[in-house]
Amino acid sequence: MKFSLQVAARLVLGTGLALATPIKRVANSSSISSTQILQFALTLEHLENTFYTEALAKFDEPAFEKAGYAPWVRGRFEEIAEHEASHVALLTQTLGNNSVAPCNYSFPFSDPKSFATLSNMLESVGNGAYIAGSQYLVNDTASLRAAGAILSMEARHASWVKSSVLLSQPWSSSYDTPLDGNLVYSLASTFIIQCPASNPPLPFKPFPSLNVSAADANDSMPMPGQTVNLTYVHSTISGNRQYLAFLHGLNTTFTNITNYQAIIPPELQGLVFAVVTSDNTTVSDSTIVAGPAPLTFDFDANVPNY
Ligand SMILES: *[C@@H]1O[C@H](CO)[C@@H](O)[C@H](O)[C@H]1NC(C)=O
Ligand SMILES: *[C@@H]1O[C@H](CO)[C@@H](O)[C@H](O)[C@H]1NC(C)=O
Ligand SMILES: *[C@@H]1O[C@H](CO)[C@@H](O)[C@H](O)[C@H]1NC(C)=O
Ligand SMILES: *[C@@H]1O[C@H](CO)[C@@H](O)[C@H](O)[C@H]1NC(C)=O
Ligand SMILES: *[C@@H]1O[C@H](CO)[C@@H](O)[C@H](O)[C@H]1NC(C)=O
Ligand SMILES: *[C@@H]1O[C@H](CO)[C@@H](O)[C@H](O)[C@H]1NC(C)=O
Ligand SMILES: *[C@@H]1O[C@H](CO)[C@@H](O)[C@H](O)[C@H]1NC(C)=O
Ligand SMILES: *[C@@H]1O[C@H](CO)[C@@H](O)[C@H](O)[C@H]1NC(C)=O
Ligand SMILES: *[C@@H]1O[C@H](CO)[C@@H](O)[C@H](O)[C@H]1NC(C)=O
Ligand SMILES: *[C@@H]1O[C@H](CO)[C@@H](O)[C@H](O)[C@H]1NC(C)=O
């Protein structure tokens, strides 16, 4: 069964489009300090913390039972919620008076299953954010150690939800996908309505949103080897060639875009992130046109996974 984060992503990107940039951005982002990276980490941890608090307040034990989950599933989510609260406390203590306060959020879940699906995505994106963000902590080894300890826990959360709750693959490939600040920001900001004016600006900006949908009306979800239709704003570089790049593990696979269509590489598995680029050799802040769109290609235990 092909089951996709695109469900959550569609709802999310749909709501995000209507909102102004919720997090203030510093004018010059060429140098990112360890304090700014920790502030970004705390921004994400506040988001996750509120996400679990709201969901567990909304869905009690009978709600999980009704959704078909064993009683221990909600108990594990409570443990995850405790971890996120602890991450918030640790980063707040580390940052002291440079801490950022929580924002107001909007999460598009409607039942325990859509909550679990979104949980898996938030944890996976958080994991990718810590992987890529750690390079800015090389001069702050105490924070680097803490970030490593949080990173692996986010990965366990994502893995547990995907395998034990959603009954699918616990991983995507031999490597998780590092996600640079602007990519993470683009995904996270779609859940954020408004942040306190007193929060310091962050050195990131969202890219224009990208919608990837199956070209064949009979397919509910994009699938490897199939053609997809792309919807994105591209006014600034119209006329140039564009590509659909898939970030997966440490690899990037480029495909051509023709008339707003592209073919998903057949070999992709698990969670991948699609971005439209103006170049077919490099994905960077200066070549990304729109995205990322998270896509999940579930695979069973009988196929090779590289
Ligand atoms: C993405 O495109 C599909 C197909 O056109 C549409 O059903 C869906 O609502 C779109 N999602 C967003 C967030 O615009
Ligand atoms: C940004 O800051 C860097 C280093 O401080 C500086 O070299 C660069 O000129 C600045 N760029 C802009 C656009 O202000
Ligand atoms: C934070 O507190 C320190 C002293 O503990 C002070 O020097 C610094 O200016 C304060 N920073 C802010 C942003 O308030
Ligand atoms: C780490 O410190 C070195 C030496 O001061 C400096 O050149 C480098 O830019 C710093 N790296 C980061 C990521 O702050
Ligand atoms: C969040 O929403 C509450 C009311 O629901 C409001 O009082 C508060 O000002 C909002 N905070 C921000 C940062 O938007
Ligand atoms: C995808 O795009 C093609 C070409 O524009 C169009 O004919 C087709 O109907 C689209 N598919 C869906 C599901 O909207
Ligand atoms: C889509 O499904 C309908 C009904 O099963 C079928 O008639 C049609 O040929 C299918 N279209 C494609 C492109 O497979
Ligand atoms: C990149 O993908 C190829 C297959 O497409 C695979 O053989 C290789 O191991 C991957 N490398 C990394 C670093 O993920
Ligand atoms: C993309 O198109 C170019 C020609 O425009 C072609 O040379 C290249 O092989 C295509 N790449 C893929 C992955 O299909
Ligand atoms: C990248 O684009 C160039 C120019 O269109 C083309 O020659 C080359 O084959 C493309 N590479 C891939 C991997 O599609």
Question: Tens place of pLDDT for every residue, the chain, 306 residues?
Answer: 333 334 333 333 333 333 345 556 655 445 899 999 999 999 999 999 999 999 999 999 999 999 999 999 999 999 999 999 999 999 999 999 999 999 999 999 999 999 999 999 999 999 999 999 999 999 999 999 999 999 999 999 999 999 999 999 999 999 999 999 999 999 999 999 999 999 999 999 999 999 999 999 999 999 999 999 999 987 655 557 899 999 999 999 999 999 999 999 999 999 999 999 999 999 999 999 999 999 999 999 999 998
* Domain pair 20-194 / 210-297, same fold: no
Rounded to the nearest whole angstrom, what is the distance from the C-alpha of residue 144 to the centroid of ligand 4?
Answer: 14
Rounded to the nearest whole angstrom, what is the distance from the C-alpha of residue 266 to the centroid of ligand 7?
Answer: 22
CATH number given to 210-297: 2.60.40.10
Domain boundaries, the chain: 20-194, 210-297
- The token duo for 106 is 């909007």
Q: Which residue's CA lies nearest to atom 11 of ligand 6?
A: 215
Ligand 1 proximity of 220 Cβ (cutoff 6 Å): no
Rounded to the nearest whole angstrom, what is the distance from the C-alpha of residue 306 to the centroid of ligand 10?
Answer: 25
- List of residues 6+ apart from 283 with CB closer than 8 A: 245, 247, 252, 275, 277
Give residue 5's pLDDT. 37
Give residue 126's pLDDT. 98
Q: Which CATH architecture has domain 20-194?
A: Up-down Bundle (1.20)
Q: Which residue's CA lies nearest to atom 11 of ligand 8?
A: 251
pTM: 0.88
Pocket of ligand 3 (CB under 6 A): 97-98
Give residue 24's pLDDT. 64
Q: Which residue's CA lies nearest to atom 12 of ligand 2?
A: 28
- Which class for 68: exposed (0-12), middle (13-18), buried (19 or more C-beta within 10 A)? exposed
Give residue 289's pLDDT. 94
What is the SS3 assignment for 140-187? CHHHHHHHHHHHHHHHHHHHHHHHHHCCCCCCCCCCCCCCCHHHHHHH
CA-to-CA dists, residue 159 to 38, 187, 271, 282, angstroms: 24, 20, 12, 29
Give residue 306's pLDDT. 87
